[in-house]
Amino acid sequence: MPIKKALGTLMFLALFSDPFCFSQDSNFHIYLCFGQSNMEGAGAIEEIDKKVPDNFFVLQGVNCSEPNRKKGSWRAATPPLCQCNTGLSPADYFGRTMVANLPEHIKIGIINVSISGCDIRIFDKDIYTSYDDTHKADWFSNIVKNYGGNPYKHLIDLTKTAQKDGIVKGFLLHQGESNSGDVQWPNYVHKIYKDLLNDLSLNSKDVPLLIGEVASENNSCCNSMNSIINKVPETINNSHVISSRNCTTKDIAHFNSEGYREIGKRYALKMLDLLNVVNTKN
């Protein structure tokens, strides 16, 4: 090929290649987020939230028309990170805090499959059909339908796509309001965690499970659930509970924007601690 033609080809590729096209990269760290409405995101997205670090991405979980976003494609992690019309979530400031404290060559990718009002067992691949119409309401059924009727499989399929680009470093869970008072909840979570590890060929020693407490301020509806959530590390060795203490709320169940920013940072600070990152910038 003549030199001039070869240079022209290289210039074309440089100009028109997809900026979000990845090949597998050990410096691309991927985190799976799942749960119910607080992980889905119910906080108002404010101006401060719209500027996103260059090395923070989300794998689009569902197709959206406004703006046009395609399921299964990476994009800049501009909120919302879950579905089309959700709000700010812990995942937003988890990712921002991670990239602020890691070397510049590290990229962070988020996958978020969450469902308002769901029972945790909708993520159990063996019994999910018993919990996919919990509310028997269109809004709930439509969310589940957007996940192909099987949220667990949807999460697995997205993650297998993501594993072609990077490596899974951890799971983030925020759920419990719909299971408030159920002492079997840690066992449900343990089953789901083991299934995720097995189906994604991951080792529990390498992939921690970070679990956020439910809202505990302003007479929260479900703060008694936190005593059950805090028992999970007795069942799952590499699991860690993230405190919701002093994370501000907008109602009896949901954090407000500042509360989401704060608990998201707390998830990240725990993960950074597990990665032995010192002198973090909070």
Active site (catalytic) residues: 37, 251, 254
Query: What is the Cα–Cα distance from 200 to 190, expressed in whole angstroms?
Result: 15
Give the closest residue to 102 by CA, choosing from 277, 282, 238.
Answer: 277
Query: What is the Cα–Cα distance from 214 to 235, expressed in whole angstroms?
Result: 19
Q: Please give the DSSP secondary-structure letter assigned to residue 225.
A: G
Question: Which amino acid is located at 185 in the chain?
Answer: W
Question: Which amino acid is located at 255 in the chain?
Answer: F
Query: What is the Cα–Cα distance from 35 to 172, expressed in whole angstroms?
Result: 8
Query: In a 3-state reduction of DSSP, which class is residue 202?
Result: coil
Neighbours of 201 (CB within 10 A): 9
Question: Which amino acid is located at 61 in the chain?
Answer: G
Query: What is the Cα–Cα distance from 177 to 214, expressed in whole angstroms?
Result: 7
